[in-house]
């Protein structure tokens, strides 16, 4: 007899699994300085981040093109993806370390993360016909905590080998995949789409409400991962320090992790105000933080951490709400494909943003160029308003 669980129990398991699985995301970033020492090179942080993002983009495109999460059991897709991502993470320890192998395995980790993050949202949408914004708030919050977790490991034991960090995160991902694969059955609101339709993506791309939600999400993504990836260097610059030690690793964890809390709180608020308001006000707020950095690059020491913590709150709170708007803009049988497609394009923008800002770092201090990430939120707000309209009273 198939397992049957409540929506609440399913969400709890998915949230835990999402946290455990996405701990793989920045595991390579924490080891970047070790790789630079081993390979005698520099700039590995941007290369490693971009490799994971490119893998995720490729994975989400192929998952979306094949409508994998809509045609097959999303829980099974989540499980196999988590196991494969963990395997390629571990192979970096087993096989000789080289520039190509580091980037290649991080690419493959990113590829199979495509079966964890957007598929987790798809599973949640199969359990929540109402209150999806709150559910995705918890889910994306778990992603944020998972992303920040390797920095906490580094902060608690700066002497830990990078191999330990990769082993721990791989083990966590396998546990997370097993929680969903074995204990979360298909949701009651799931509508399987067994037909492979080559024309599905172009059809979805014509939906105006989906276009608006997607453009808002794209503006958010232009800022988010670049802010996260270069945050240790921004901290180091603002605090006039010369290296990224245990303390800066801890604050990097805290600033990223607090965004997980804001995702949860924003999700709960969306139950009263609606996903649209939470998404747009959060996007505007994070854009304002960027503008403030442009205007006031010399931040007083006492204000550096409060300012970055506030930015960390605002830069993530809109993510689950834009995903909710994406899911609500299409029929139930297309939600997995729509979420994965929008994720694919959004993460594609992160590579452009990261590489552009890495180039800027060769000529300017982080405090002098990272504020210009505000361009993403500004264009996202304009794009959303053009396609969907916005009124504070809505």
pLDDT single digits (tens) 179-210 = 999 999 987 777 766 555 556 677 777 788 88
| Cβ-Cβ contacts under 8 Å for 120 (sequence gap 6 or more) | 14, 17, 18, 21, 78, 139, 180
Closest CA to 307 of 320, 289, 283, 291: 289
Report which DSSP code applies to 243: S
Residue 196 confidence (pLDDT): 52
Question: 117 or 17: whose pLDDT is higher?
Answer: 17
| Cβ-Cβ contacts under 8 Å for 225 (sequence gap 6 or more) | 49, 53, 347, 350, 353, 354
Query: What predicted TM-score, i.e. pTM, was given to this entire model?
Result: 0.78
Q: How far apart are CA 117 and CA 139, in angstroms?
A: 9
Closest CA to 123 of 138, 107, 108, 112: 138
CB 113 within 8 A of CB 141: no
Residue 226 confidence (pLDDT): 93
Q: How far is the CA of 342 from the CAs of 25, 147, 149, 210, 333, in angstroms? A: 19, 20, 25, 9, 16
What structural domains does the chain harbor? 7-191+206-388 (1.20.1250.20)
Ranges 276-285, 318-327, 342-351: which has the least confidence: 342-351
Residue 68 has pLDDT above 90, yes or no: no
Closest CA to 308 of 263, 255, 230: 255
Q: How far apart are CA 318 and CA 110, in angstroms?
A: 22
Closest CA to 110 of 177, 180, 174, 59: 59
Phi, psi for 4 (deg, rounded to 5): -125, 130
Residue 154 has pLDDT above 80, yes or no: no
Residue 302 confidence (pLDDT): 92
Q: pLDDT tens digit string along 289-346?
A: 999 999 999 999 999 999 999 999 999 999 999 988 998 888 877 877 788 788 888 8
Residue 158 confidence (pLDDT): 53
Residue 63 has pLDDT above 80, yes or no: yes
Alpha helical stretches, state H, 114-161? 117-127, 132-156
Ranges 44-48, 101-105, 151-155: which has the least confidence: 151-155
Residue 219 confidence (pLDDT): 96
pLDDT average, residue stretch 26-36: 82
Residue 390 confidence (pLDDT): 43
Question: 141 or 288: whose pLDDT is higher?
Answer: 288
Grade residue 157 by pLDDT with cuts at 50, 70 and 90: low
SS3 62: helix
Residue 142 confidence (pLDDT): 86
Grade residue 281 by pLDDT with cuts at 50, 70 and 90: very high
Residue 105 confidence (pLDDT): 95
pLDDT average, residue stretch 373-389: 90
Question: 251 or 188: whose pLDDT is higher?
Answer: 251
- The helix (H) or strand (E) run that includes residue 89 is helix 74-94
pLDDT average, residue stretch 156-180: 86
Mean pLDDT computed over every residue of the chain = 87
Residue 286 has pLDDT above 90, yes or no: yes
Q: pLDDT tens digit string along 98-133?
A: 999 999 999 999 999 999 988 888 888 888 877 778
């Amino acid at each position: 007899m198939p397992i049957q669980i409540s929506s609440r129990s399913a969400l709890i398991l998915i949230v835990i699994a999402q946290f455990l699985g996405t701990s793989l995301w920045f595991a390579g970033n924490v080891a970047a300085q070790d790789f630079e020492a081993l390979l005698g090179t520099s700039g590995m942080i941007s290369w490693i981040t971009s490799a994971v993002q490119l893998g995720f983009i490729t994975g989400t495109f192929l998952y979306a093109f094949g409508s994998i999460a809509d045609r097959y059991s999303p829980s099974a897709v989540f499980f196999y993806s988590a196991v494969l991502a963990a395997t390629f993470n571990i192979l970096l320890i087993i096989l000789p370390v080289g520039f190509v192998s580091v980037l290649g395995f991080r690419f493959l980790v990113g590829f199979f993360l495509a079966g964890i993050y957007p598929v987790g949202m798809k599973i949640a949408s199969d359990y929540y016909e109402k209150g999806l914004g709150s559910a995705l708030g918890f889910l994306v919050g778990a992603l944020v905590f998972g992303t920040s977790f390797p920095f906490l490991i580094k902060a608690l034991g700066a002497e830990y080998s990078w191999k330990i960090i990769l082993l721990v995160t791989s083990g966590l991902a396998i546990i997370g995949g097993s929680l969903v694969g074995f204990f979360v059955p298909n949701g009651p609101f799931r509508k399987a789409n067994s037909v492979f339709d080559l024309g599905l993506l172009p059809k979805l791309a014509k939906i105006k409400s989906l276009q608006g939600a997607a453009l808002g999400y794209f503006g958010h993504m232009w800022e988010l991962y670049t802010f996260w990836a270069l945050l240790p260097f921004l901290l180091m610059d603002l605090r006039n320090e010369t290296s990224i030690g245990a303390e800066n690793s801890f604050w990097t964890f805290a600033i990223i992790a607090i965004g997980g809390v804001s995702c949860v709180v924003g999700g709960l608020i969306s139950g009263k105000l609606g996903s649209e308001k939470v998404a747009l006000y959060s996007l505007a707020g994070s854009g304002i933080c960027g503008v403030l950095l442009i205007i006031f690059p010399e931040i007083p020491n006492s204000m550096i951490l409060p300012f970055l913590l506030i930015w960390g709150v605002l830069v993530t709170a809109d993510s689950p709400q834009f995903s909710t708007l994406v899911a609500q803009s299409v029929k139930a049988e297309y939600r997995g494909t729509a979420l994965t497609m929008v994720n694919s394009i959004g993460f594609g923008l992160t590579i452009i943003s990261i590489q552009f800002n890495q180039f800027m770092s060769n000529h300017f201090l982080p405090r002098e160029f990272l504020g210009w990430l505000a361009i993403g939120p500004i264009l996202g707000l304009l794009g959303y308003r053009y396609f969907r309209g916005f009124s504070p009273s809505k």
